A and B are shown apart, each in its own frame.
Chain A
Amino acid sequence: MADLATLVDLWPDALSPDERAAVRAAVQADASLAHGLRSLDAAEAALRLRLDADAGEDRSVFVLYALDRAGRADLLDADELARLTEARPVLDALVAALPALALVATRIGREAAEFEAAWQGALAADALPASTPSRQRAFEAPSDRSSRAPRPPQRRVARALWRTVALSSLALVIAVGGLIVQRDRAMLEAEGAGLVALAGGTTVRTMAGTHLAYPDPERTTVLRRRVQLNGDAFFDVAHTGEAFEVETPSATVSVLGTVFGIRSDAARTEVTLVEGAVDVAARAGGAVRLAPGQQTTIATGAAPATPSDVDLPAALDWSGLAVFRDTPIDDALARLAARSGTPVRADARLAGQRVTGTFDASRPLEEVLGALAVPLGATVERDADGYTLR
């Protein structure tokens, strides 16, 4: 029988072409494995059919059912309550037959609570006075300071996006790889996941669902290095002697040549510093300075939290990068192993070594290990059990 580590890889959440090839190879060698995997697939498919058939066309009624179970019938209007009453016996029977649905209902209840928390955060953001200089400054592109631009760049993008949706009710604005819309000659906007190169060598890696407004790198004169961020991004700022600023709904982060990650939404901003120095100022007042390896969170309407030391690889896991800073080799390899599901070990010769560097964890594990091995003077070996650095 194939070893346990390999088995779980054969039924992963999603299959890459490499994984399909690995499954094909393992299955050819072992008929009982083929039968086993086929059985699991068939079982899952049968369950899916039951979910589709019994829940019927109207999946929304299960959401109403879940909200009611969570004690939130107040969220339902009269029509919805009537629909729920009618569907309840069927849904009760379905949950009895497929007990995991009770867990789904509980999760939906939590999702509702999180939505309401996000709404409260958005209301708090709206309530910030519009006349404070920093907030107004956020919405002016440098070149337009004299001819005060009437609308902030984000609103123009929202309007353009909205027009697209309104024109065709089936239109979806997809931002795979980034949608870049030029709003005025000075500022560009990027939507979605991508890598943005700014003038002077600064790079910004944005995550899906993120909005970034930044000065056009083609322009030769930029009055100030400043970007606006709503979402999650990882920054590597080139040191030019001039301050670089990132503005989010709740904070302004000022840096000189440095590497850091920001997660932001309407309710709060979280800043994690890898190297260099950053000053984080809250829109509502108050500022802190971060040292490398520290993190602060600014809730909208509040001052920044006192910086705390964090485990950098864990704190920046969301960026898709493996960020190590003086990290013990065993911890670094454990993180890479956990992420990939493949065991990785270090030879005793490397004990006590530390790793510093930022690695793209979405690349194949072997590639990342290869890059990591170079400064250690080590080689990467593969065997049935995983990888070893010697």
Chain B
Amino acid sequence: MSLSAETVRRAQQGDARAREALLESLQNLLRGYFRRRIGGRDEVDDLVQNTLLRVHQGLGDLKDPERLQAFALKAALYEVQDFYRGRYSSRESLYDPDIPPESPEAPPDGAAIDAERVLAMLPERAQRVLELRAYGYRYEEIAEMIGTTEAAIKMQVKRALDRIRSLALVLAALVGTGALLAGRGIR
């Protein structure tokens, strides 16, 4: 059995074929596992190779060969977390330089949105959604974690956006658009 403690022992002792058999079995297992976790995406192959690398590098330090499963499990979980946290691809921000300057209503450079105040104006459920988005999860995954549908999650986001916009419009009427967009309007 190529995932057995015996194979691990032999691999640790320098048996190249045992090591190959071990890594091959692991590769098959990991491929299916990561596919189930993150879907059929190109990064699956990266996650597989990185996890194999961790196992390969850590094999010598594994004191108890019976503990290979625990070791490989943690290695795989680390890779999945790295994936969500953006190690494999950077999250696109909607407001990268190419979008706002064309809008005649865009605020002067340097005007910052007070993120903490934005969060404070949102209901608890919307805050959870934003936290999970910040972590790196997609709407589909967030829905699964919260125990609801993707449509309901998107509705939370829509309502949050509407709420921000309504408050902005009200305050713009009260204090003037320029001051609002410069981030000073919300109290």
Contacts and interface: CB of A to CB of B under 8 A. Distances in A.
Interface in A153-168: 154-155, 158-159, 161-162, 165-166
B24 A11 contact: no
B85 to A, nearest CB: 7
A360 interface: no
Given A99-B131, A208-B44, A265-B35, A59 B85 contact: yes
B56 A165 contact: yes
B13 interface: no
Contacts of A27: 99-100, 103
Given A36-B165, A43-B115, A123 B41 contact: no
Interface string B26-63: 01110111111100111111101110110011000000
> Size class of A's contact patch?
35 or more
B158 A4 contact: yes
A193 B91 CA distance: 22
A4 B49 CA distance: 42
A112 B73 CA distance: 7
Nearest to A155: B24
Main DSSP-derived SS at the B contact region:
helix
Contact of B42 (A38, A127, A176): A176
B174 interface: no
A247 to B, nearest CB: 14
Interface string A203-219: 00001111100000000
Interface string A229-250: 0111000000000000000010
B164 A40 contact: yes
Contacts of A106: 145
Given A40-B161, A63-B77, A154 B106 contact: no
B65 to A, nearest CB: 13
A165 B27 CA distance: 13
Given A42-B118, A100-B128, A8 B157 contact: yes
A165 B48 CA distance: 12
A317 B145 CA distance: 21
B20 interface: yes
Given A40-B160, A60-B78, A122-B25, A32 B168 contact: yes
A208 B40 contact: yes
Interface in A276-334: 318, 320
Contacts of A181: none
B116 to A, nearest CB: 7
A41 interface: yes
A7 B158 contact: yes
B35 A207 contact: yes
Contacts of B3: 119, 122-123, 126
B102 A63 contact: no
B93 A41 contact: yes
Interface string A80-123: 00000000000000000011110110111001101110110111
A20 interface: yes
Interface in A5-35: 7-8, 10-11, 13-15, 20, 23-24, 27-28, 31-35
A229 B139 CA distance: 31
A14 B119 contact: no
A47 B42 contact: no
Interface of A: 1, 4, 7-8, 10-11, 13-15, 20, 23-24, 27-28, 31-48, 51, 59-60, 62-64, 67, 74-75, 77, 98-101, 103-104, 106-108, 111-112, 114-116, 118-119, 121-123, 126-127, 154-155, 158-159, 161-162, 165-166, 169, 172-176, 191-193, 207-211, 230-232, 249, 264-267, 318, 320
7 contacts: A15-B92, A40-B157, A101-B135, A114-B37, A123-B3, A208-B43, A266-B32
Interface of B: 1-3, 20, 23-25, 27-29, 31-37, 40-46, 48-50, 52-53, 56-57, 67, 69-70, 72-74, 76-78, 80-82, 85, 91-95, 98-100, 102-106, 112-116, 118-119, 122, 127-135, 138-139, 145-146, 154, 157-158, 160-162, 164-165, 168-169, 172, 177, 180-181
